[in-house]
Chains A and B, each alone.
Chain A
């Protein structure tokens, strides 16, 4: 800017020339530039000389032209920064002086009047706070803070390591990793490190500044009169296995005592529990724990749940696990990471943590027992075998058309489903190579990996201190894994046992992934079965209601195409084959997707409420009523809406107005019937039909294909 301004007069002078002599003109311009600078200098120097004159002194001999060019650059820089700072401050000032309602005003001017937030709307209808509310946050979204750390974490006492700004991740990444990891053997704190969950509503209202999780729901509940005394955030350390939260922090006891307190101080009104994501499984565990007798359980007695809980409103619940968890455990990548990796190969492998980001991530996340709670449960019966899957015939083109025109969707979807000969084998959750994923099962040659000798590990010594169990596997083991070609839900558990025996040994002590044949078997009294809905019975609470609220209409990871990683040493030997694409079969970047909320497939979120617990089944002996409420995803109309009020995505759904309205109505006393019963957009009932799960008590027969 300044240069240009200075040049203006020069242009005026030099432009007095025909256009043809441009070259010369440029010469001149340069000359004059210097002239001009000199000129300016003269001026600068003039002022002191004038002063001297006034004082009656002799003017000194004309000074040699100082090296102006150097200075002017610095000066202009300074000047420029100054300008920026000033405008910045001005804008800041304006922003602060701006009335708080201004952004809303602008939004309304552009998009038309906004609908009232559900809290306001329902308050006008006369709804009031009635039942106390308990929030159970999911994995990852809860904040964790440091209570005791190594030297490198000095000054971080009671600061958030997880959640908040994540500033420390960039400042001291290795230190951060060390503190976030748990002990490899016990799944509890490493020596000398105590990282604890943040307590209170602040634990998970915002995950990062501006990225709400529970905040919108809390704000809307507050409108109808909720406050701290009738809201409770059951924050827990989401890295631990569920029973370990009780062993280490007595979290389950705290939740029990707090629920009892809420019921007692709110005039005996029962609690509405609202778990989200993994919190759903955690609360399932809690309901079993609280009624179990003392040493292992909470000793609440057999009717504790019916006495204290009015409804369990599960939001985006991965009852039957999430395929994403497999990819996470298998190769520390999900769709997003795999795509990022494909875009910038080498970046993730080299930069942020000096070396091997993914390996570090994998090492850390494998110490977290909780990730193992999300491994798909129910095996082939639920998730489908080699040639069969409940979602068979689902077409992804549905989704694309939805964007264009919603009206013809149903017809088109139906047509597609009929005419499509080549349906996706969702049951093969991991396949090595695209051809394997598509070939009929008879053509696949599989060599069983289970007995394979792992061979001695070649990589161990060179790989610095990054340790994942892959280094113990050796090449033979890796080859064996790849030669088995394709894995279904059941064999995946075996696969994980094979590639990460220590982790799974720790995990299977706390979680189980099967289907119970006989629920009265005394072995099911063990806590490792409590969070698996297919291996526990619901508590005896006929007045309770269970809701399953989740978003649909987003492509959700369901199965993966893998390949062997080319550089075998010191790295994770498998990765998602992002080159595998198929227009017709929902295959994109090596991932088969299906309907869901971007994280949890419909099947996992809806099956239990749609079929497994519907009516009086062996999993639900007291006939607790269940309701499925689906929310169709529609993306935010414009940027001003932020994450949208109609979103169906796994976390963003917590800001979905329709969902919030339902939750508030339930909290204010409405039953599922009053809410309108089921609200289904997806094919969940069809899919559930296809699952042959035995639900009656009498004949314990295993049914799997």
Chain B
């Protein structure tokens, strides 16, 4: 304001000087002259106006654009603010759609109360990670979440974040100068990102029947590490053990109900063995620990036998979704967001995480099928119709159509070949394929033509010669056993590091002392369950969603440095009813874990008294058929069966609540099966 006033003053002076000829004579004259002056003045004004006219119009035009911009933004802001205000003033009850009372509220009315303490074990990826010590580029992020939460930092400083999320390639532990730790407590995995629940719904329902901090615990751990390393670095297993013991005591000697999800399932399997093993490698709980402290293990979406997805991530850093994206917008991922080569960066990072190796398919050809055979043989993929047409109808028709189509469809998907190069290799009979000989997997040739021109090595692909890369691809198909060999070839250091912690085979003789080593503990096919006859094991998982099972690969055309030489051939799709889509063969499952992996142990491997389950722990299978949410208002649905969304499934929550409140598996209805899991398990020829 002050400056404007000054401006005006300046004008007074100037104009006074300019117009002295007109005004000054009449300074002290009578009102008559004043009138005259008025006229004159008007003249002057009009002249001035004329002179200024052009100028003014110009200025006006200049201003109009910005002005109207401002005006529009102003309008928008005002309305927005008004709406916001309205929204806040709105009574809570009016805005919300009258919801059905959740299972927690309903069961509370039926008289259920908290009885057994509950331990939640989150899976891979869903747990938050926060920074405790970092490089200078991560300044100001101390104790902020780098993983989970809003992920804003990924966009601000992507490379810095990648560096911090990666582990040391040789040791699989922290790189020097960086400490990234799991977020502790319930906040670790209640929401993965704002609004995207993981455990939150379950926690809320548990709270309804009386759970709270003292009888509900989230066993957060650093999911990037191998399981034994979480103990070595963070004492995560010891903490879990103490916590369970404490809850057991402070809740009136009530045993604990454990609810692991996804990878948490095999993490807890590892814990079961660890806790009863004597120190130094074990937790020295003694042989009766599990029987004393654990009532039931309710595995949600368990990845007991691994996930085929893990193969494609380790092999080419892409899953189904990523390969679709890549096909739709070629070049975007390879060039822009991270400066260059998103996939390469992701591959580089994810290969430093031991935990992904724990998810590679276990059990080899016996479980996952060989060249010409697989347990899912005859699975019909009419998922496109099933999910979109009326569910009630299809439910009735499923059985009929299954049988019919099973006869009709001729080119059955050969799921056993988890990776095949080219569509031909995925369909042809094994006798027509060039045999895969493990002796071929020698890197002698590779090291000869070691490619130096690419500067520092990012992924181990850079150390492979062009020749050996092509050898790998030469029209071959890989079964799950051969796959491990393949990974040993393409990433020898990673596999060497990880195989000190994980094993993927089947034990011939479980009493062999070598199985006391911790690397076998997380493989259900190479360990015995603890001696706890009163314990119960549940397998709760969704079905009815197409789940990645095997892949068709091709050589990547680009021969740039540091690029990934293979990618999923997303151009390949089968006929309408075939399970092949965008280079991926689908089977039944929960979108991440195939039914086979989730259900086999409970359906057959541990059912009754087997060599894997010497004490005859009771097992139950509870499947939840996927139903997509009917409207957008429902969000992610209360009947979803997909891998993470199932944590909001009311039926599943009800089951967990009942067991936590003291029910046994028999009381909640025993098995509940929708899929072919029993038949599939029948086909698997595993000595029990």
Q: Indicate with 1 or 0, residue by residue over B69-82, a CB within 8 angstroms of chain A CB atoms.
A: 11111110110000
Judge whether A348 is part of the interface by a CB distance below 8 angstroms. Answer: no
Chain A nearest CB from B133 CB (Å) reads 7
Between A and B, how many residue pairs show CB distances below 8 Å? 166
Which of these binds chain B: A7-15, A54-62, A310-318? A7-15
Judge whether B185 is part of the interface by a CB distance below 8 angstroms. Answer: yes
Judge whether A699 is part of the interface by a CB distance below 8 angstroms. Answer: no
Query: A43 contacts which chain B residues (CB < 8 A)?
Result: 57, 60
Judge whether B203 is part of the interface by a CB distance below 8 angstroms. Answer: yes
Query: A21 contacts which chain B residues (CB < 8 A)?
Result: 34
Choose one: A11, A20, A81, A86; the contact of B11 (CB below 8 Å): A11
Residues B77 and A81 in contact, CB atoms below 8 Å apart: yes
Interface residues of A in 210-269 (CB under 8 A from B): 215, 218-219, 222-223, 227-229, 249-250, 253-254, 257-258, 260-261, 264-265
Interface residues of B in 189-223 (CB under 8 A from A): 190, 200, 203-204, 207-208, 210, 212-214
Judge whether A51 is part of the interface by a CB distance below 8 angstroms. Answer: no
Residues B185 and A199 in contact, CB atoms below 8 Å apart: yes
Residues A154 and B92 in contact, CB atoms below 8 Å apart: yes
Residues B71 and A227 in contact, CB atoms below 8 Å apart: no
In the complex, which of the residues B19, B56, B203 has the most CB atoms of chain A within 10 Å of its own CB atom?
A: B56
Judge whether B429 is part of the interface by a CB distance below 8 angstroms. Answer: no
Query: A14 contacts which chain B residues (CB < 8 A)?
Result: 41, 45
Choose one: A9, A24, A28, A199; the contact of B56 (CB below 8 Å): A9
Which of these binds chain B: A71-79, A421-429, A593-601? A71-79
Chain B nearest CB from A652 CB (Å) reads 20
Chain A nearest CB from B453 CB (Å) reads 35
Residues A16 and B213 in contact, CB atoms below 8 Å apart: no
Residues A257 and B246 in contact, CB atoms below 8 Å apart: yes
Judge whether A85 is part of the interface by a CB distance below 8 angstroms. Answer: yes
Judge whether B22 is part of the interface by a CB distance below 8 angstroms. Answer: yes
Choose one: A9, A229, A254; the contact of B49 (CB below 8 Å): A9
Choose one: B34, B48, B74; the contact of A80 (CB below 8 Å): B74
Chain A nearest CB from B468 CB (Å) reads 42
Nearest residue, chain B, Cβ from A251: B214
Query: B611 contacts which chain A residues (CB < 8 A)?
Result: none
Asked if A15 meets B11 with Cβ closer than 8 Å, knowing A78-B71, A78-B78, the reply is yes
Residues A253 and B56 in contact, CB atoms below 8 Å apart: no
Query: B75 contacts which chain A residues (CB < 8 A)?
Result: 78, 82
Chain B nearest CB from A565 CB (Å) reads 36
Judge whether B336 is part of the interface by a CB distance below 8 angstroms. Answer: no
Query: B143 contacts which chain A residues (CB < 8 A)?
Result: 201, 205, 215, 218-219, 222
Query: A17 contacts which chain B residues (CB < 8 A)?
Result: 15, 19, 23, 37, 41
Nearest residue, chain A, Cβ from B235: A265
Q: How many residues of chain B have a CB within 8 Å of chain A?
A: 68
Nearest residue, chain A, Cβ from B70: A82
Query: B213 contacts which chain A residues (CB < 8 A)?
Result: 147, 196-197, 199, 249
Judge whether A2 is part of the interface by a CB distance below 8 angstroms. Answer: yes
Q: Indicate with 1 or 0, residue by residue over B558-592, a CB within 8 angstroms of chain A CB atoms.
A: 00000000000000000000000000000000000
Judge whether A662 is part of the interface by a CB distance below 8 angstroms. Answer: no
Choose one: A78, A197, A254, A261; the contact of B238 (CB below 8 Å): A261
Query: B12 contacts which chain A residues (CB < 8 A)?
Result: 15, 19
The CA of A201 and the CA of B220, in the complex, are separated in Å by 14
Nearest residue, chain A, Cβ from B57: A43
Interface residues of A in 260-282 (CB under 8 A from B): 260-261, 264-265
Asked if A77 meets B234 with Cβ closer than 8 Å, knowing A11-B8, A16-B41, A253-B250, the reply is no
Judge whether B4 is part of the interface by a CB distance below 8 angstroms. Answer: yes
Q: Indicate with 1 or 0, residue by residue over B227-244, a CB within 8 angstroms of chain A CB atoms.
A: 000000011001100100
Query: A100 contacts which chain B residues (CB < 8 A)?
Result: 139-140
Residues A253 and B249 in contact, CB atoms below 8 Å apart: yes
The CA of A12 and the CA of B50, in the complex, are separated in Å by 12
Query: A85 contacts which chain B residues (CB < 8 A)?
Result: 73-74, 77
Judge whether A63 is part of the interface by a CB distance below 8 angstroms. Answer: no
Q: Indicate with 1 or 0, residue by residue over A154-166, a CB within 8 angstroms of chain B CB atoms.
A: 1101100000000
Residues B132 and A227 in contact, CB atoms below 8 Å apart: yes
Chain B nearest CB from A353 CB (Å) reads 19
Judge whether A447 is part of the interface by a CB distance below 8 angstroms. Answer: no
Judge whether B16 is part of the interface by a CB distance below 8 angstroms. Answer: yes
- Which residues of B pack against A, CB within 8 Å? 4, 8, 11-12, 15-16, 18-19, 22-24, 27, 34, 37-38, 41, 44-45, 48-49, 52, 56-57, 60, 63, 67, 69-75, 77-78, 92, 132-133, 139-140, 142-143, 179, 181-182, 184-187, 190, 200, 203-204, 207-208, 210, 212-214, 234-235, 238-239, 242, 245-246, 249-250
For this complex, 23 residue pairs linking A to B, each with C-beta atoms less than 8 Å apart, are A11-B11, A13-B49, A14-B41, A14-B45, A15-B15, A16-B41, A19-B12, A79-B70, A81-B78, A86-B70, A100-B140, A101-B139, A147-B213, A148-B210, A158-B200, A200-B187, A201-B184, A202-B185, A227-B133, A228-B184, A254-B214, A258-B242, A265-B239
